[in-house]
């Protein structure tokens, strides 16, 4: 889902890669998994951005 991927990237996560054929679903469909990360040194900046976005959201309520 590209929309979900863009959303997590906007939060500050880094796309590390794709696990191809990661899971077989009961209906036989095989799906990939996209792996994202936020490492500890990045977290303070990511957290600050998230808190700012939450404040902007609260102001609109």
- pLDDT single digits (tens) 40-51: 999 999 999 999
57 phi and psi angles, rounded to 5 deg: -65, -45
- pLDDT single digits (tens) 18-30: 999 999 999 999 9
For residues 50 and 21, what is the distance between their CA atoms, to the nearest angstrom?
32
For residues 14 and 46, what is the distance between their CA atoms, to the nearest angstrom?
11
37 phi and psi angles, rounded to 5 deg: -145, 155
The pLDDT value recorded for residue 41 is 98
* Section 30-57 average pLDDT: 97
pTM above 0.75, yes or no: yes
């Amino acid at each position: 889902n590209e929309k979900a991927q863009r959303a997590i990237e906007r939060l500050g996560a880094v796309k590390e890669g794709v696990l191809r054929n990661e899971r077989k679903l009961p209906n036989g469909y095989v799906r990939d998994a996209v792996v994202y990360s936020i490492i500890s040194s990045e977290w303070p900046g990511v957290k600050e951005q998230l808190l700012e976005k939450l404040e902007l959201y609260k102001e609109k309520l």
